[in-house]
Every structure is written in structure tokens, then in C-alpha cells.
Structure 1
């Protein structure tokens, strides 16, 4: 196991519902360190880089619209083996399938418009974490 950094994005629905503090508390209660924190208004360019594998998907315009509904809280978290642990903390991508006790299981839900609003993004590998941190925290 090694020291790692990972990216957490509290998405617009999580920010609007005032879950930034709840999510930070969960991270800190696990003993991980918050290295950076900022509010971000996502640009289409940032979203295209972040979701590079989804740019040509038919749902990409809705994804961009969702991620621009309001500000995002960007958080860099550091600690031993942090990437898989924080990714597990987020829960299943679909909030309706996420276990209770996970961020998405506790704070997420499905919406009548069918758009997937799932509160949080977490990096799924150390290499993705490095790539994503460069997109959202280019100053570091």
C-alpha cells in the first residue's frame, strides 16, 4: 500500500443539498487528509477532458448540462490506499442501487426526468486521479 492522492467532486446536486460538509466529515473521520478544496464552475472544456470517454455518447450534452447546473466542490484527498477506499465510499453509480452508508446511498436518489444526478465523483484509479487532478487543479 502506498500514499496516494485522489479527486473528489461534489457535484451540483450535492452542493445544492448542502452535503459538502457531510462528505468532508466522512473523509476526515477515516483519517484522510484534505490537501486542497475549492469551488468550481465547470467549463465545457474541463468536462470534455474529464469525461473524455463519454464525449461522443448521446447523453454527453445532458451530462454537461447537469455538471453546469451549479458550482462543484473540488477536493484533493491524500492518504494510504486512498483511491479505492474513497471510490468505495461513494457507492454504486446509480443512487438507487447504492448501499446505505455510502455517499450515494445516503444522499442520492433518482429523479423523474431520468437524468443521473449522483452527488459525487471519485477517481477510480491512481492514474485517473493524477489525470483528473490536473484538469480541476491545474495550479498545483
Structure 2
């Protein structure tokens, strides 16, 4: 349960400089496998819709459309993070960095960017069979009596290794116990969601419990959790972690995140199809660099398994739950 997919791409100047063999050698050295390739010329509209850049977006679009690019779909353990390191090393070898617009090579970040760029480059492939590592945002309320069937489908027809199933109220979760009656290739982490008013705005927090919990703790039924702190302390006492649920980008600020971190929140639901790539990028910077929190994400309103996070991000946030 450790394979995942990632995307790395030679930009037009990478094609011209002929660095493909260097890239492929580094991929092999990391025990990764090239599954599919696609060589295309992008349109400016495709670049504007599926890429972000710290440079002027129109200049960047003209750069990426100045010639052919080649995208590689890669499979292997921790593929997403390994491809990111390969990208940085190749750029450095040629004297480039993220400060240069023309810098040879790109890799898709986990979550939203991978979801969008997979659809752009590999339209003929099933995203469920070529996903990242974990979809931590499957809303149980959307499936009701069909949850068991959903679990079977994800195990048989997706490459997901872990899923997070979120509940809005106490539930006996008989489908989970039924699913685990035999050995499975997919792990399940259960979450319970509660709403609170914090700093004058309505926010939702998700408490995720250790993988050993095949049902929600019955004590949830007897707790009202009038304050966010009581909910966070309850979840952590049972060995769990708490994540800030989806919040529109306008509601996310450093003061709120630092307060939540002080209360014991571990991370933020960042990767979500309801966010644009620019919103994701801006939130990532605040969450990681200023608030010192970790990332989570998942399919949410999409088909389960469609949008997922890599093993690197999963381990950074949820590792304590799967020991």
C-alpha cells in the first residue's frame, strides 16, 4: 500500500536542451517507473487554467506555449515527493532555480495541481487508477447505504492506499466492520466533523481517529462540545488529530491558523477542487511557512478517489494514526 502516481514535465527549453535521458536516468535511480508519456503543444488558455507561476501569468503562458512539452506519468513509492527532488536537482545542475521563469522542468504538486494536470495531459486514462496516495475527504453523508459498495469499488478500481471517511454525527458504522471482515489493500481512517464560531466566523473542525478505530467512539454521542478546545482535547485524548475543514480562502488568515495551532490543531484541508490553483498556492504559503501547520485534502464534492494527497503529505499529517 505504498505506490502512487506523479507527473513530471519537460518544458520547451528542457526539450531543446535535450535533457530527457538525464531525467529518465534519475527516475530509474529512484526506483520509479514511467507509465505513460505525452508530447504536446499547449495553448495559452490551457496554461492559464492549469498552471501557476510567480511571474506574469501571460509571459509564463507564452513561454510554455513556445514549443513542445513532454509530460511523464510516473508510478512508484513516494513518487510525488521524489519527482519534486529530481526537478530541483536537475534545475540546480544547469544553474536554474524557481527564481528563473525558464527553468527546464516542472512537476505536479500533490492534490489539486496533480488532479488538474492529469486531466490535461492524460485525458484517456482513468484518474481513479492513477491517483496519488490518500483521499482524506470522503463525506459519508453522500453515500448512506452505499458506503460498503463504495469501499469495495475503491479497493478494486483505484490506486488509493488510504481514505478518510468524514461523519457529521455519531454513527455505528456497520459497513466499516463488514468491510474489514477480511484482509484489505486499502486503509480507512474515520473522522467526525463539528462546527464552531472562532474569531467571529463559522468554522468546521474534523477529528480523525487512529486506524484501529473501526467505529466512532460511542462517547461521541454523549458529548456536545460547546467549545472548539473541548472537541480538540477529546479527539487528542483518544490518540487522534484535528484538521481545519474547507474554508473559503477569504476566511483563512494567519491569526486564525495560529490560534488553532495553539489549541492543538494539526493541519488544514488545503487541496480541494473548489479552490483554484492560485488559491491553493496562497493558502499553502500561509499554512506551512507562517502558521507551521501541515496539509490535508481529498475529493470532497468529486467522485471519491479523484483528488488525493501524496504519501509525503499523508505521512506529515496522519502518520501517528497509522502506526
- Please report the TM-score for the alignment, with normalisation by the length of structure 2: 0.36
2:81 match: 84
SS of corresponding position for 1:5: strand
Unaligned runs of 5+ in 1: 92-101
- Between the aligned partners of 2:57 and 2:74, the Cα distance in structure 1 is 27
Secondary structure of 1:131's match? helix
Q: Does 1:4 align with 2:4?
A: yes
Name the Cα RMSD after superposition: 2.2
Q: Alignment length, in residue pairs?
A: 124
Deviation at 1:119, TM superposition (A): 0.7
Match of 2:94 in 1: 107
Deviations 1:91-122 (A, max 9, x none): 1xxxxxxxxxx010113548xxx961011111
Determine whether 1:66 maps to 2:63: yes
Q: More relative contact order in 1 or in 2 (CA 8 Å, sep 6+)? A: 1
CA separation of 1:30 and 1:65: change in aligned 2, threshold 3 A: same
1:10 and 1:80, CA in 2 relative to 1: closer, same or farther beyond 3 A?
A: same
- Secondary structure of 2:42's partner? coil
Match of 2:282 in 1: none
CA–CA distance in structure 1, aligned partners of residues 116 and 96 of structure 2:
28
How far apart in 1 are the matches of 2:105 and 2:14? 7
1:135 aligns with 2:132: no
Show CA shifts across 1:7-50 (max 9, x none). 11100010000011211111012110101112110112321221
Normalised to the residue count of structure 1, the TM-score between the two structures is: 0.78
Kindly provide the CA deviation profile for residues 62-115 of structure 1, in whole angstroms up to 9, marking residues without a partner as x: 101110111001100111111011112211xxxxxxxxxx010113548xxx96
Question: SS where residue 85 of structure 1 aligns?
Answer: helix
Aligned partner of 1:122 in structure 2 is 107
